[in-house]
Structure formats: structure tokens, C-alpha cells
């Protein structure tokens, strides 16, 4: 809900698609089962590219591709690391429809990334990591600026230094 405690956003400069995958991999070192990442940013911003890095970091089964047509793709974990639930909320109007996908149980034991989730994120009862991907104004520039904002009690006292260490000045 709207009353969830927010922390200051961490700003990360991401110059290339590979760097975006690296950011996803790095995120998996702090993510735990039950965690939800809500990714926003326009078409082609790099949400799915980031998801590929999360999948690589978790070493999940199957290629991580856009769940646009299936709405949700579930990737089994290794048994040591959690699985990955990859949701595309673009055509979902509300949180109720997300819950209809029957994700709750899987979400508790997995790491979930919701693309296009910003509209419904405010309805979430659970903590989440908001991740907003922005392009630079110049179309010839591949650089993305990512704003990571932890929302809710899950993140209280969690050291985000590893993310801050990625933050650039660019």
C-alpha cells in the first residue's frame, strides 16, 4: 500500500545491454525468495534484458525471453538458488488479475520480476524493489539510467551498498 516505507533511490548508469545483464546478476546477490522487483520503463528500455541477468545470476532453467504473450513465465531454480517468475503486466488492469494468475505460492519461494508493473505496484501488500529504467535524451546513446527504490519493511536495514557501488556519475 501507499504507506509502505520508502528509501532513497539508488541511481545506476548502465551504458550497454551487457551492463544491464550485469546489473541483473548483481541484484541476485541481494535478492531472496519472496522478493518482488517491479520494473518500469518504456518499450525497449531494457526490462527483459535485466530479467536475463537475473535469470543468469540464479542459473535458472530455460532462456529468459519476454513473457508478453503468456503473461507469466516460470523458470525452475537449481534447488540451491530460488526459481524465477517473470511477469508481463502490460495487459493486466489490476492487481486482482495478477493474483488470478495464481502466483502467490510460487512467488513466496521464487524471485519475481514484473515488467510494466508500476501501475499495479501501489496495490501490492508486500515489499518490493521498484526499478525504473530511463533512456538518455539522445537516441544515438544506448545509456540507460536505472533508479532502484526499495519499498517496504523487507528492505529496512538491508545493505544496498553493492548497488550504490554500481552508481556512476554519468
Q: Which residues bind ligand ADP (CB under 6 A)?
A: 14-17, 19-20, 41, 43-49, 66, 115, 142-144
Nearest distance from C-beta of residue 43 to ligand ADP, angstroms:
5
Between residues 44 and 153, which has the closer beta carbon with respect to ligand ADP?
44
Question: Bridge partners of 112?
Answer: 36, 85
Residues that bind Mg ion (rule: CB under 5 A) add up to a total of: 4
* Region class of 13: left (phi > 0), else alpha (psi between -120 and 50), else beta: beta
- For residue 103 the three cell numbers come to 502466483
State the helix-helix crossing angle for 17-27 and 47-58, rounded to 10 degrees: 50
Nearest distance from C-beta of residue 113 to Mg ion, angstroms:
10
Rg (CA), the chain: 15
Nearest distance from C-beta of residue 49 to ligand ADP, angstroms:
3
Cell 501501489, residue located: 122
Between residues 66 and 136, which has the closer beta carbon with respect to Mg ion?
66
Residues 47/50/54/55 CA torsion (nearest 10 deg): 80
Nearest distance from C-beta of residue 153 to ligand ADP, angstroms:
28
Question: Which single residue brings its beta carbon nearest to Mg ion?
Answer: 48
End-to-end Cα distance, the chain: 33
48 contributes a contact to Mg ion by CB under 5 A: yes
112 contributes a contact to Mg ion by CB under 5 A: no
Picked from ligand ADP, Mg ion, none, the partner binding residue 46 (CB below 5 to 8 A depending on kind) is ligand ADP
**Could you list the residues that contact Mg ion (CB under 5 A)?**
47-48, 66, 115
Amino acid at each position: 500500500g501507499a504507506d509502505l516505507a520508502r528509501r532513497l533511490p539508488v541511481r545506476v548508469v548502465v551504458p550497454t545491454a551487457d551492463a544491464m545483464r550485469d546489473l541483473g546478476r548483481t541484484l541476485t546477490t541481494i535478492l531472496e525468495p519472496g522478493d518482488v522487483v517491479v520494473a518500469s520503463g518504456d518499450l525497449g528500455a531494457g526490462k527483459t534484458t535485466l530479467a536475463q541477468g537475473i535469470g543468469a545470476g540464479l542459473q535458472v532453467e530455460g532462456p529468459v525471453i519476454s513473457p508478453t504473450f503468456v503473461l507469466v513465465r516460470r523458470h525452475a531454480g537449481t534447488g540451491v538458488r530460488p526459481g524465477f517468475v517473470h511477469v508481463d503486466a502490460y495487459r493486466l488492469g489490476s492487481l486482482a488479475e495478477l493474483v488470478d494468475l495464481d502466483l502467490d505460492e510460487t512467488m513466496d519461494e521464487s524471485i519475481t520480476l514484473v515488467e510494466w508493473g508500476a501501475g499495479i505496484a501501489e496495490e501490492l501488500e508486500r515489499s518490493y524493489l521498484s526499478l525504473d529504467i530511463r533512456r538518455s535524451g539522445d537516441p544515438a546513446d544506448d545509456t540507460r539510467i536505472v533508479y532502484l527504490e526499495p519499498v517496504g519493511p523487507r528492505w529496512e536495514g538491508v545493505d544496498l551498498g553493492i548497488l550504490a557501488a554500481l552508481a556512476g556519475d554519468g
